[in-house]
Amino acid sequence: SMKGALEKSVNVVSVEILLKAGIDNVLHTAKNMGIESNIPKVPSIALGVADISLLEMVNAYCTFDNGGKKINPVFISRIEDKDGKVIYESDKTKKTKQVISKQTAYYMTEMLKGVVNEGTAIRLRDTYKLKGEMAGKTGTTQSQADGWFIGFTPGLVAGAWVGAENPAIHFNSIQYGQGAAMALPIWAYFMKSCKSDVAF
């Protein structure tokens, strides 16, 4: 199933879905969800060959957690003076745009929950003992040069990337070079540190 393939990172299914949906349609959706980097029009984009920033990836995942609405990332949302008076507040945080349907966002979230509960990110449950609603996806490049984990709980999206500017610098094996081994632990410890603010 599509859910099972996503959970276990069976990427041949991702390529098949990409081809059925149409590369142009996928690129259009990615752009609407906040991916501004250049994505080549090749089937291997389903395997993660595009060079996309962590900020863009986290922003795109916000769309799933936000019921299909894209939000614009801001680095400073508000500044208060010493008396608590607001002297600056960004208006970008209030601007949203529906870019995928609520139903699609729900289906994606449910499938990404499977990655955490039964798939490549199950270490969040088994090893790091995180509880509560979580969804996310691991990512690993072919040469183990990049490892990713983007995940979210209700109301909080975060991501971790491990790699180097030069792809010649990489792990020699998938054991340590996979996203579940090098990026997921960073995300897990970050979320543990947020325990007082997020219901696990």
Q: How far apart are CA 126 and CA 35, in angstroms?
A: 32
* pTM beyond cutoff 0.75: yes
Comparing CA positions, the residue from 156, 136, 165 lying closest to residue 148 is: 136
Q: Is the pLDDT of residue 145 over 80?
A: no
Per-residue pLDDT of 63-73, as tens digits, reads 999 999 998 88
Task: Name the DSSP letter for residue 11.
Answer: H
How many CB atoms sit inside 10 A of residue 98's CB?
14
Per-residue pLDDT of 109-144, as tens digits, reads 999 999 999 999 999 999 999 999 999 999 887 777
Task: Name the DSSP letter for residue 41.
Answer: S
Question: Residue 200's pLDDT band (boundaries 50, 70, 90)?
Answer: very low
